Chains A and B, each alone.
Chain A
Amino acid sequence: MEKFIRKEGLVAPLDRANVDTDAIIPKQFLKSIERTGFGPNLFDEWRYLDHGEPGMDCAKRPLNPDFVLNQDRFRGATVLLARENFGCGSSREHAPWALLQYGFQTVIAPGFADIFYNNSLKNGLLLIKLDPKIVERIFREVQTAPGYRVAVDLEAQTITTPGGESFAFEIDPFRKHCLLNGLDEIGLTLEHADKIAAFEAQHRGRQPWLFS
């Protein structure tokens, strides 16, 4: 996982509430056994006018000109601005993979679904929860100011708008530590291997039927 320290990037506004994981990456792309290659199919049904299937050359597909990510001014965006309950639905990790592989590094919204939140942070996609009123304000500013970029400082836990305003955000200290250092969580957990083994032995003694 890449380290996430300070990043600065163009903001793309996705003005829809309850964007679900089926919309982020439709099911047909879940058939892949790879971890990469999902970027071109991010928001597939909204982004293209035709129906997408795995293996298609997305460069040749007709784009939906109304979809925000297809507008020239939002090309190269690395920050996605969204509405409440972003990422609701399934546990597919293909959703954060697709967002990251498209080029997003950060998603800002008033709220995120639990499983999606975990999956994203484990992959180095930073999710920033801000007050709905602040999100609303950023939406308005993005619409009126072309080239609107924000600076995301994970160390300081702030985002700064072009107007110089800073907003603080919360993040779990452990998750922050992992993100900042690009840590492999499995390796970290295995440092407790002895403790796990000891627990397991006791657990087996207490509830042997769980192991039969």
Chain B
Amino acid sequence: MTAQTLYDKLWQSHLVHEERDGTALVYIDRHLVHEVTSPQAYAGLRLAGRKPWRVDSVVATADHNTPTKDWDKGIKDPISRLQVETLDANMKAFGAKVYFPFLDKRQGIVHVIGPEQGATLPGMTVVCGDSHTSTHGAFAALAFGIGTSEVEHVLATQCMVMKKSKAMQVIVEGRLGTGITAKDVALAIIGKIGSAGGTGYAIEFAGSTIRGLSMEGRMTLCNMAIEAGARTGMVAADDTTFEYVRGRPFAPTGALWDKAVAHWRTLKSDDGAKFDTVVSLRADEIKPQVTWGTNPQMVTTVDGKVPDPAQARDPVQREWMERALKYMDLKPNTPITEIRLDKIFIGSCTNSRIEDLRLAAEVVKGKHVAANVKLAMVVPGSGLVKTQAEKEGLDQIFTAAGFEWREPGCSMCLGMNEDQLSPGERCASTSNRNFEGRQGAGGRTHLVSPAMAAAAAIAGHFVDVRELA
């Protein structure tokens, strides 16, 4: 038998049907649902008189629109409220394996709760009407974001219609320096291959650095695969994976667990498996990353400077950079550490897990947010992350340092609720997109790791976390 990639294996084991031209029906094991991209899909089902194929594949939560404070007052914005209530109604009418509505203790960002509940398992195909579904690939799962028509399609047929992508392997070897996190690795990769570099590919992250990452770190990395253009990113399963999954509410137990693990051990690329493209990075060359523009590819290192568009050879590129700098109100050649910040956001499906909060807390412990920072907030990824953090006293560290400690949700990652940047405000954010207006119309976003965001909060401008240690 020829050597297979992890992607080949996951694809093969879910292939229901394939046309001669390669158009395939791929079986979906887990369907994560949230309030923003599902209402029109359920409306479509109703309209066509169709029923969900397998209700117990659905795990749902409300996360994008939910407020992060004053939960007792409910959802103020009537349009947001209607969207969340529509999900409540659809869950009632159509059902799910489990639904964590607004106010539930286990509610949270869909990509945080899936793994946390053991609802994301190795070897699964996972879809969600959200591009950051790639996160779940950290479990050696085949996971992709889908649009609303596809949500409806999966609900009705339990399958996706797709063609196999090309395979890319991103190898990172060596030890990461102190203060360097998975987020920096992700941004460094995007900086290297570009935000369209992974278009048309399924990416497998491999190498000793990746094997050394915790599950939280692997999730951060796979989460950002979409920012490199790849609809799916994945990491081979190993003991780190199994230890994370063990004992979670929906994880198998007893004899079934042993059987599952035996299978999961095969979820890796065979030696000699062929990839269409291979990209390599060295861990010891990765420094703390900071984005300076309006696309995650516009990234540099904390000891670097804002680039000069005049140096760009390609006119389209130059124009793009000029526009970005104008929007970001930055001058070429400004040292990154001179960029002053108005707001700090620690949260999002990229960096709101317990490990992220521990890292940030360690940086801010015993210090205080700088006077020029108007708001520094920590938004845990889920109710359970929040509870765990409080058990460890992290909330105390944050509030003592002047951070606001909020309820879980997507929050200022995209500001569908009240948590937004005002026009012109500049934010160090642990989220994944720095597009124009992403965090609020006219807002300016710099993507960084939780440690870097925490350090920037204390200093009031970007600083190299490595110098704090």
Across the interface, B123 reaches (CB within 8 A) one of A20, A96, A195, A207, namely A207
A83 at the interface (CB under 8 A from B): yes
- Do A195 and B17 have beta carbons less than 8 Å apart? yes
Is there an interface contact between A91 and B37, defined as CB atoms closer than 8 Å? yes
Contacts beyond the supplied A203-B13, A203-B27: 13 A-B pairs with Cβ under 8 Å: A16-B323, A20-B435, A28-B416, A30-B36, A45-B441, A85-B229, A88-B196, A91-B131, A115-B226, A190-B157, A195-B25, A207-B263, A210-B123
**A93–B147 CB distance below 8 A:** yes
Please tell me if the beta carbons of A27 and B415 are within 8 angstroms of each other in the complex.
yes
List residues of A (18-52) whose CB comes within 8 Å of B's CBs: 18, 20, 22-23, 26-28, 30-35, 45, 51
Decide yes or no whether B50 CB sits under 8 A from chain A. yes
| Pairwise interchain contact A93-B153, C-beta atoms closer than 8 A | no
Interface residues of B in 30-69 (CB under 8 A from A): 36-37, 39-40, 43, 48, 50, 53-54, 56, 64-65
Q: Give per-residue flags for A77-94: 1 if the beta carbon is below 8 A from chain B beta carbons, else 0.
A: 000000111001111110
Q: Mark B3-44, 1 if CB is under 8 A from A, else 0.
A: 000000000011011010101010101000000110110010
B435 interface neighbour in A22, A30, A93, Cβ under 8 Å: A22
Q: Contacts A91-B37, A185-B161 given: A114-B147 contact, CB under 8 Å?
A: no
- Cβ of A192: which chain B residues have Cβ within 8 Å of it? 16-17, 25, 159
Asked if A54 CB lies within 8 Å of chain B CBs, one says yes
B220 at interface by CB-CB < 8 Å: no
Asked if A54 and B79 make an inter-chain contact with CB atoms under 8 angstroms apart, the answer reads: yes
Cβ-based interface call for B404 (8 A): no
Q: List 23 A-B contacts (CB under 8 A).
A: A20-B436, A22-B437, A23-B435, A28-B416, A31-B65, A31-B79, A31-B416, A33-B40, A45-B436, A84-B316, A89-B435, A90-B433, A91-B146, A93-B149, A113-B196, A119-B148, A172-B21, A195-B16, A199-B16, A203-B13, A207-B263, A209-B259, A212-B256
Which A residues are CB-close (under 8 A) to B257?
A: 209
Instruction: Given A16-B320, A34-B40, A174-B23, verify A210-B16 contact (CB < 8 Å).
Output: no
Within 8 A of A (CB), among B381-410: none
Q: How far is the CA of A54 from the CA of B81 in the complex (A)?
A: 14
Q: Are B433's CB and A33's CB within 8 A?
A: no
Q: Which residues of B, 149-203, contact A by the 8 Å Cβ criterion?
A: 149-150, 152-153, 156-159, 161-163, 195-196, 199-200
Contacts of A34 in B (CB 8 A): 40
- Smallest CB–CB gap between A60 and chain B, Å? 19
Report A195 CB to chain B, min CB distance, Å: 5
- Give chain B residues whose Cβ lies under 8 Å from the Cβ of A88: 195-196, 229, 295
In the complex, the answer to whether B131 meets A90 with C-beta atoms within 8 Å is yes
Q: Which residues of the partner chain B approach A149 to less than 8 Å between Cβ atoms? A: none
Among B196-232, those with CB < 8 Å from A are: 196, 199-200, 226, 229-231
Q: How far is the CA of A203 from the CA of B12 in the complex (A)?
A: 12
- In the bound complex, what is the Cα–Cα distance between A31 and B64 (angstroms)? 9
Q: Which residues of A contact B (CB under 8 A)?
A: 15-18, 20, 22-23, 26-28, 30-35, 45, 51, 54-55, 83-85, 88-93, 96, 111, 113-115, 118-119, 122-123, 172-174, 185-186, 188-190, 192-193, 195-196, 199-200, 203, 206-212
The listed residue (B50, B130, B158) touching A196 by CB distance below 8 A is B158
Q: Per-residue 0/1 for B420-440: is the Cβ within 8 Å of any A Cβ (1 yes, 0 no)?
A: 000100000000010111100
Q: Closest chain B residue to A34 by CB distance?
A: B40
CB neighbours (8 Å) of A172 from chain B are 21, 23, 163
B86 interface contact, C-beta 8 A: yes
Which 8 pairs between the two chains have the least Cβ-Cβ distance? A119-B147, A33-B39, A209-B252, A93-B147, A93-B148, A85-B196, A91-B145, A174-B23
Interface residues on B, range: 35 or more
B364: chain A residues within 8 A (beta carbon): none
| CB-CB under 8 A for A122 and B149, given A31-B80, A31-B83, A210-B121 | yes
CB of A207, distance to nearest CB on chain B (Å): 7
Q: Are B149 and A85 in contact (CB under 8 A)?
A: no
Complex Cα gap A149–B152 (Å): 36
- Is the Cβ of A208 less than 8 Å from the Cβ of B147? no
What distance in Å separates the Cβ of B417 from its nearest Cβ neighbour in chain A? 10
Instruction: Specify which of B37, B159, B259 is in contact with A189 (CB 8 Å cutoff).
Output: B159
Answer whether residue B378 sits at the interface, using C-beta atoms and an 8 A cutoff: no
Looking across the interface, which residue of chain A has its beta carbon closest to that of B157? A189
Interface membership of B328, Cβ < 8 A = no
Instruction: State A31–B231 Cα separation when bound (angstroms).
Output: 24
- Given known contacts A113-B229, A172-B21, A33 and B82 CB-to-CB distance under 8 angstroms: yes
Give the distance in Å from the alpha carbon of A119 to the alpha carbon of B146 in the complex.
8
Does B124 interact with chain A (Cβ within 8 Å)? yes
Instruction: Determine the distance from Cα of A92 to Cα of B83 in the docked complex, in whole angstroms.
Output: 15
- A96: chain B residues at CB < 8 Å are 147
Task: Name the B residues within 8 Å of A212 (CB-CB).
Answer: 250, 252, 256
| CB neighbours of B231 from chain A (8 A) | 114-115
Q: With A90-B131, A186-B48, A209-B121 in contact, do A200 and B158 touch (Cβ < 8 Å)?
A: yes
Tell yes or no: B377 within 8 A of A by CB: no
**Given A174-B19, A189-B157, A33 contacting B37 (CB threshold 8 A):** no
* Cβ–Cβ contact A85 & B199, under 8 A: yes
The answer, yes or no, to whether B414 is at the interface (CB within 8 Å) is: yes
B129 within 8 Å of A (CB atoms): yes
**B260 CB-CB contact with A under 8 Å:** yes
Kindly provide the distance from the CB of B412 to the nearest chain A CB, expressed in whole angstroms. Answer: 11
Task: Verify A22–B436 contact, CB threshold 8 A.
Answer: yes
Q: B317 an interface residue at 8 Å Cβ cutoff?
A: yes
Nearest B-chain residue to A85, judged by Cβ = B196
Give min CB distance, B148 to chain A, whole Å: 4
- Name the residue on A nearest B257 (C-beta): A209
Report the Cα distance A198→B146, complex, angstroms.
25
